[in-house]
Amino acid sequence: MISDRIRKIRTDAGLSQLRFAQTLSISRSAICKLESGENKPSEQTLAIIQKHFLVNADWLRTGIGEPYTSEDSRSCILRLLARTDDELISLLIRLLKTYDQLDMTEKAVLRKFVKNMATKSQDRS
C-alpha cells in the first residue's frame, strides 16, 4: 500500500512524523492520515516526496521497482546535509579536518571502523 511506502521513506530518512511533515509543507496529522491509509496523497505531495527523497515514481505509486533512484555520492551528501542541524554539521566539519591530519595508517583504521559501522547499520534495516 502507498501508506506503507510513505512510512518507509520517512523512516529510511530517519525523520519523525513532524519533521517529515515540515519537509512536505503539510501538517503532522496529515502525515498520520497518509501513513494509516485514511487519506491518499495529492499529486503535489507525491512530487515533493519523489524529488526531495529521490524516490522512484513507479515504486512510490505501485510498489514495483526499486524504492530509490540512484544519485552520485556528492549529491547524496549535499541532500543529507541540507536536512541536518547546524550542530551536527559543525561536528562533521571538525571530524573531516581531523581526518585530514591523520597519517595513512590512522586513516585506514578509521575507514575500516566506519565501514563496519555502516555494514552493521544496513544489517539492522
Q: What confidence tens digit (pLDDT) does each residue in 66-122 have?
A: 888 776 566 777 777 777 788 888 888 899 899 989 999 999 999 899 888 888 766
**Domain extents for the chain?**
2-62, 87-124
Say if residue 62 is exposed, middle or buried (CB neighbours under 10 Å; 0-12, 13-18, 19+).
exposed
From residue 42, alpha-carbon distances to 2, 14, 74, 75 in Å are: 12, 23, 30, 27
Give the C-alpha separation, 44 to 61, whole Å: 13
pTM of the predicted model, to two decimals?
Answer: 0.57
Query: Cell numbers of 98, please?
Result: 581531523
Query: Cell numbers of 40, please?
Result: 491518499
Overall CATH class of domain 2-62: mainly alpha
The single residue listed with the C-alpha cell 571530524 is 95
Model pLDDT for residues 56-79, shown as the tens digit of each residue: 888 999 999 888 877 656 677 777
